[in-house]
Amino acid sequence: MSDHAPDATDRAIINALQGGFPVTDRPFAEVASWLNTDEADVIARISAMLDAGMLSRFGPMYNMDRLGGAITLAAMSVPADRFDAVSEQVNAHREVAHNYERDHELNMWFVAAAETRSGIDALIERIEAETGLPVFQFPKEREYFIGLRLQA
């Protein structure tokens, strides 16, 4: 991650797009109109934030269950001295939406989605083989919508 700190426009883009993305022919131009900037600036800023590691991803979030796919919450107990390296290994898989650190014995948590349940199982096996660490799955039993928005 670079030392680049988000400015007010970067934060405004992050805050504006957490609530939805305009479905139009030129969505970045519409976002730019909300923020008194231009389309090229919005695109360049999102790209720069991704490159700097301020954003881990930019894209839609799909409800895999409704699309016929599978999703799981997973956790690992990762030694502190290996946390960054294991995080990179886990995040290298396209099926992993995000991961985060917790102050708990199971200190790394991540969400993974795939086209099938067997795809999730294969991913978990790959991560265990790559890291040498067990992965515990917590499949969704019920869905709750809490409307979480993080202010940048």
**Is 52 a residue whose pLDDT tops 50?**
yes
Q: Report yes or no on whether pTM surpasses 0.85.
A: no
- 136-139 and 108-114: which strand pairing? unpaired
**What count of Cα atoms within 13 Å lies in the side-chain half-sphere of residue 14?**
18
Domain ranges of the chain: 8-52, 70-139
Q: With bands split at pLDDT 50, 70 and 90, how would you rate the model's confidence at 69?
A: confident
Q: For residue 6, what pLDDT is reported? A: 85
CATH class belonging to 70-139: alpha beta
- Pick the more confident residue, 16 or 42: 42
d(CA 102, CA 29): 38
* Sequence-ordered list of residues with C-beta below 8 angstroms from that of 14, at least 6 positions apart, any chain: 6, 49, 55, 152
Report pLDDT for 26.
96
What's the sign of the alpha-carbon dihedral 84, 100, 137, 66? negative
Whose tokens are 């499949």? That residue is 139
Integer Cα distance of 89 and 107 in angstroms: 15
- For tokens 């040498």, the residue is 132
For residue 81, name the pLDDT band (cuts at 50, 70, 90).
Answer: very high
pLDDT value for 86: 96
C-alpha span between 51 and 32 (Å, rounded): 20
Portion of the chain with pLDDT greater than 70, in percent: 88
Per-residue pLDDT tens digits for 99-141 = 889 999 999 999 998 999 999 999 999 999 999 999 999 987 7
The band of 145, judged by pLDDT with boundaries at 50, 70 and 90, is low
